[in-house]
Structure 1
Amino acid sequence: MLQEELMEIRDPLLRKVQDHPFWSGLRDGSLPGEALARFVQQDTGFLLPAYARALARCAAAAPDDADTLLLGQSVVGTLTARDRLRRAYTTLAGELGLPELQAGLPADPATQAHASFFAAASARSFYAGVGALLPMVWFNAEVSDNLRRDAAPGSRYLPWIEVYHPGDSYGYAVRAFLDMVDRAGESCSARERQLIVEQFSISVRYEWAFAECCIRQPSWPV
């Protein structure tokens, strides 16, 4: 199955992402509040909307109606999650001593590159698009499970970790996405299959780059 090949590519990067100071800082409570605010602003303001639009392009290009349905439902789920995370952060900001979200902040260069990658891959073909989109849903499940399971007792961010987790039913969505990728890998040409792998290999690196940009605020030229 194609997902087994992709898992071999994913696992080394997943471990690095989970050990990144952004995610480890959430687990042990040491993450600066400004970094979490930056994550929420970049994620909900730019990355999740770009991901939803890329899902919609892939839904329109999907060769199978079942895949169109899954990807269309994922568009709704992504935008709903975007709104839920912003509301949750606003609710918890005072309790956790976090900065308020600011209007009008620009996209970080790494966020802009990540969003542009989603747009380009999904415009190229269905196969390029699903390869690019799979890491976000897969990493989200693994990282949020790791946060909830391994968070230090008494961590400052326990309330946020709980609301950030997409819920136990999210595992069904991940498995459906992986099943779709396996079906695509079996029915497509050798070149299209390689395209899935190539785009996936690029996309997993963006998962690390996004955590990096959230913890290291860019210095904007005057």
Structure 2
Amino acid sequence: MLQEELKELAAPILDKVRAHPFWSGLRDGSLPGESLAHFVEQDTGYLLPSYARGLARAAAAARGDEYTALLGRSITGTLEARDKLREAYGSLAGELGTPALDPEAAVDPAAHAHSSFFQAATATSFAAGFGALLPMVWFNYQVSNDLLERHTSGSRYAPWIEIYHPGEGYGYAVKAFMGVADRLGEELSGAERAELVDHFAISTRYEWAFAEAAWSRPSWPF
């Protein structure tokens, strides 16, 4: 099954992402508050809206109604998650001792590149677009579960971790996306299948880059 191939391909980077100082700092409470604020600004201000638009383009290019329906539901879910996270951060910032969000925060280079990749991949083909979009679903599920299971109880960011987790029902969406990957693995030509896998592999690296940017908080030099 294609999903097993993709999971094996993603495993080394997923391990690096979970071990990254951004996520480990969230688990134990040592993460600087500025890093969490930067993450939320970039995630809710740029990455999640770009992901939703990528889902929309992929849904329009899908070859089957069941694929369009799944991606269409995910558009709504992504934008609702964006709003939930931004509102929750605003409510928790005082308790967490983190900075207020900057409503005019500029996109950082990593978020710009990640968002541009979604746009380019989904404009290329359905196979390329689906491959590019899939890691965000898979990594979010794995990372948020890891945060919930391994965070230090009572630590600084425990309330945020509870909010950040998308809920048990998210597992059904992940299972549906992986099921689509398996069906596409049988339906696509060899070249299309390779295109999906290649874009999936590139997109997994953007997941690490986004965590690194939240940790280091880069900005444009001009």
Is the structural similarity TM-score above 0.5?
A: yes
- Determine if contact 2:109/2:220 at 8 Å carries over to the other structure: no
Q: Detail structure 1 runs of 4+ shifted over 6 Å in the superposition.
A: none
Partner of 2:216: 216
Do structure 1's residue 154 and structure 2's residue 129 form an aligned pair?
Answer: no
Do structure 1's residue 190 and structure 2's residue 194 form an aligned pair?
Answer: no
Amino acid at match of 2:155: S
> How far did residue 219 of structure 1 move?
4.9
Partner of 2:21: 21
Amino acid at match of 1:100: A
Matches within 5 A, 1:25-104: 25-104=25-104
| SS of residue matched to 2:104 | coil
Partner of 2:108: 108
What are the superposed Cα offsets for residues 114-163 of structure 1, whole Å, 9 maximum, x if unpaired? 00000000010100001000000000000000000000122100000000
Amino acid at match of 1:38: H
The separation in 2 between residues aligned to 1:215 and 1:105, in whole angstroms, is 16
Partner of 2:174: 174
The separation in 2 between residues aligned to 1:137 and 1:221, in whole angstroms, is 32
Matches within 5 A, 1:127-138: 127-138=127-138
- Determine if contact 2:17/2:23 at 8 Å carries over to the other structure: yes
What are the superposed Cα offsets for residues 9-49 of structure 1, whole Å, 9 maximum, x if unpaired? 11110000000000000000000000000000000000000
TM-score (norm 1): 0.99
Q: How many residues align?
A: 222
Amino acid at match of 2:87: R
| SS of residue matched to 2:203 | helix
Unaligned runs of 5+ residues in structure 2 are none
- Determine if contact 2:33/2:97 at 8 Å carries over to the other structure: yes
Identity of aligned residues (%): 64
In angstroms, what is the RMSD of aligned CA positions? 0.8
The separation in 2 between residues aligned to 1:87 and 1:43, in whole angstroms, is 13
The separation in 2 between residues aligned to 1:220 and 1:3, in whole angstroms, is 37
Amino acid at match of 1:25: G
Amino acid at match of 2:39: F
Partner of 2:126: 126
The separation in 1 between residues aligned to 2:220 and 2:206, in whole angstroms, is 21
The separation in 2 between residues aligned to 1:102 and 1:164, in whole angstroms, is 19
- Determine if contact 2:108/2:220 at 8 Å carries over to the other structure: no
Amino acid at match of 2:179: D
The separation in 1 between residues aligned to 2:216 and 2:97, in whole angstroms, is 20
The separation in 1 between residues aligned to 2:138 and 2:219, in whole angstroms, is 31
Judged with a 3 Å threshold, the aligned counterparts in structure 2 of structure 1 residues 72 and 219 are, in CA distance, closer, same or farther, namely closer
Amino acid at match of 1:193: R
Judged with a 3 Å threshold, the aligned counterparts in structure 2 of structure 1 residues 83 and 190 are, in CA distance, closer, same or farther, namely same
